[in-house]
């Protein structure tokens, strides 16, 4: 393997891992913090992608202008879903296990509703657009400009989220809730106010990932399923409730898939993903960065 090919595969793996990270961090906030098993994060990625695509097609402007719109739309939808469904679910579930089971069933319902809604509005055909598709070359490494933009946005967003969780008062409250929900309440943290915001933030990150995804891939109503499975693998790799662990796990998984598919076959992508998952579960059952 030449140095140029190695660099190409590494860049591709980091970009893929970055997209995985946004979806997985959002799911980790929902499940690791609220114990809401949202089995449909990929569908919110898909809706975010279609919103960005539709606004791009209608205006012809840069899709980067519409990624925040998709994120805000998913955030508002998250607040609405939490208020109408999940807040009541949390209040009426006698145990955490019951909450997980009920939210899992609701997640499946949301998955089918959103998929069919996208089919009704946009149809089943692949949709896409050209944006910064020209190749860039640096020391023999060739990558399209849109992938560089996507990776840069992912890095900035992920770093900002990690820093916000570590340095801001609200972020420290969220981390306290991740470590011990009961202890956080005893310390005076208003968990009832933070719950809907964290749930909505998880959907906003999924919408952001979808908007970025539409810049480099064609989209269809079924694209979300693979991202749901990947997000579940990533939060298990990084450790439940560990945001930095989700980022690390996503980047590792992206690199493994990139190099593994080149050395074997693209059809073996699920095998590579589950192989990493099984290996980590055997060696680090609590996750890569869990203490």
Instruction: Give Cα 38 to chain centroid, integer Å.
Output: 12
Residue 16 has pLDDT above 80, yes or no: yes
**pLDDT of res. 225:** 82
**pLDDT of res. 75:** 93
For residue 290 the two structure tokens come to: 């869990």
| Prediction pTM value | 0.86
Name the range with the highest mean pLDDT among 22-26, 28-32, 262-266. 22-26
| DSSP code string of the chain | --HHHHHHHHHHHHHHHHHHHHHHHHHHIIIIIH----S-HHHHHHHHHHHHHHHHHHH---GGGTHHHHHHHHHHHHHHHIIIIIHHHHHH-SSHHHHHHHHHHHHHHHHHHHHHHHHHHH-SS-B---SS-SEEEETTEEEEHHHHHHHHHHHHHHHHHHHHHHHSHHHHHHHHHHH-HHHHHHTT--HHHHHHHHHHHHHHHHHHHHHHHTTTS-B-TTTHHHHHHHHHHHHHHH-TT-HHHHHHHHHHHHHHHHHHHHHS-GGGHHHHHHHHHHHHHHH-TT-SS--
Taking a C-beta distance cutoff of 8 angstroms, is the pair 30, 91 a contact?
no
Residues 181-219: pLDDT tens digits?
666 666 767 667 778 888 898 899 999 999 998 888 888
User: Mean pLDDT of all residues in the chain?
Assistant: 82
Whole-angstrom distance, CA of residue 69 vs CA of residue 54: 12
Residues 100-150: pLDDT tens digits?
788 888 888 888 899 999 999 888 888 888 888 787 777 667 777 888 888
Integer-rounded Cα radius of gyration of the chain: 19
Whole-angstrom distance, CA of residue 135 vs CA of residue 216: 13
Residues 138-172: pLDDT tens digits?
766 777 788 888 888 888 888 888 788 778 877 77
């Amino acid at each position: 393997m030449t140095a140029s090919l190695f660099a190409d595969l590494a860049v591709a793996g980091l970009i893929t891992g970055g997209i995985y990270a946004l979806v997985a961090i959002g799911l980790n906030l929902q499940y690791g913090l609220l114990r809401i098993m949202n089995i449909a994060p990929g569908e919110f990625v898909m809706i975010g992608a279609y919103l960005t695509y539709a606004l791009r097609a209608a205006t012809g402007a840069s899709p980067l202008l519409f990624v925040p719109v998709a994120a805000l739309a998913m955030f508002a939808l998250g607040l609405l879903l939490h208020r109408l469904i999940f807040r009541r679910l949390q209040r009426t579930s006698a145990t955490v296990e019951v909450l997980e089971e009920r939210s899992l069933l609701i997640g499946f319902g949301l998955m089918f509703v959103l998929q069919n809604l996208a089919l009704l509005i946009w149809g089943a055909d692949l949709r896409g657009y050209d944006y910064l598709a020209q190749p860039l070359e640096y020391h023999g490494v060739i990558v399209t400009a849109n992938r560089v933009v996507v990776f840069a946005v992912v890095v900035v967003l992920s770093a900002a989220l990690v820093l916000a969780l570590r340095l801001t008062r609200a972020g420290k409250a969220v981390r306290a809730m991740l470590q011990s929900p009961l202890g956080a309440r005893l310390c005076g943290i208003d968990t009832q106010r933070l719950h809907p915001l964290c749930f909505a933030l998880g959907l906003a990150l999924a919408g952001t990932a979808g908007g970025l995804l539409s810049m480099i891939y064609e989209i269809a109503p079924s694209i979300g399923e693979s991202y749901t499975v990947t997000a579940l693998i990533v939060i298990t790799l990084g450790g439940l409730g560990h945001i930095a662990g989700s980022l690390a796990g996503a980047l590792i998984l992206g690199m493994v898939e990139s190099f593994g598919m080149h050395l074997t076959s693209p059809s073996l992508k699920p095998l590579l993903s589950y192989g990493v998952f099984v290996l980590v579960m055997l060696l680090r059952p609590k996750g890569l960065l869990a203490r």
